[in-house]
Structure 1
């Protein structure tokens, strides 16, 4: 198998009890959680915007986006700053746990639904000893219309 030795590097974070991973190549930085400023008429999963060194970026609450449990922000909460279709976006997560390398051979195609999230948002499921990592496809977590709303919410301030 040609990609047997190929590894992907992931930023691993938690949303509630589940572990998720996103390619490190899409992550710009990880910052402590600070409450975003609400933007009127934005979709419910857009928490608002933050000022990141002079740049206003929209922030998505992934728990709300995936319609998992209600958002409770603790000391461990972080905003993972990522790029989605050329736009810088913050993703609120429960905590960031690690950066790890996952062999391509340990990734399986996603089931139709896992942890209440449809396969549309998923790249696959990574298997590590006694853990399963839900691998998100960041380019698919928003529809084109939602992406427009996201961009507009960032420009509305």
Structure 2
């Protein structure tokens, strides 16, 4: 291994007992789920909007977006607030875990069959131990330009 190998910091979270990650540099905060106001005529994966310290932020149900069913909000559910395409969006996840360093050389492209229809939403896959994979989300694909434009109309 090279001495100065590049690594990235990622925040780990779980959905359906699988471990996912997003780059720390895109994460603004991790929040407990509080009041989410439902919106009429929003896409099915848009849970609603929330007030985060005076900012109205759209909340996306990541499970629903990745076609894994709708999230059930529990005591462990979290909203990971990310900054993507110059807008803030809350990502509803089952459980937020920790921050870890990932060596860029350990990131492998996501095979088309990993994740089924949601494989396009993955930036890559990392083997984190003998029996566990880390799925890195590609936030630019999770929230397409069309989705971002729709969500921008919800921002205040």
Residue aligning to 1:84? 84
- Provide the C-alpha distance between the structure 1 equivalents of 2:4 and 2:108, rounded to a whole number of angstroms: 13
Which residue is equivalent to 1:111? 111
Q: For residues 16 and 106 of structure 1, what CA distance do their matches in structure 2 show?
A: 24
Cα offset for 1:116?
3.0
Q: Residue by residue, what CA displacement relative to the aligned partner does 1:89-118 show, whole Å, maximum 9, x if unpaired?
A: 000000011110011121111111323343
TM-score normalised by L of structure 2 = 0.92
Structure 1 residue 3: Cα displacement: 9.1
Unaligned runs of 5+ in 1: none
**How far apart, CA to CA, are the structure 1 residues paired with 2:3 and 2:55?**
39
TM-fit CA distance, 1:149: 1.3
Aligned pairs for 1:3-152 (under 5 A) are 5-130=5-130, 131-152=132-153
d(CA) in 1 for partners of 2:48, 2:74 = 18
Alignment coverage as a number of residue pairs: 155
* Residue ranges of structure 2 left out of the alignment (5+ in a row): none
Contact 1:112 1:118 in 2 (8 A): no
Q: Could you tell me the TM-score, scaled by structure 1's length?
A: 0.91
Change (3 A) 1:12 1:81: same
Alpha-carbon distance in 2 for matches of 1:44, 1:4: 44
Residues 42 and 153 in structure 1, CA contact (< 8 A), matched pair in contact too: no
Q: Determine if contact 1:7/1:103 at 8 Å carries over to the other structure.
A: yes
Asked if 1 retains the 8 angstrom alpha-carbon contact of 2:30 and 2:79, the reply is: yes
CA distance in 1, matches of 2:6, 2:144: 30
Q: Distance in 2 between matches of 1:153 and 1:116?
A: 30
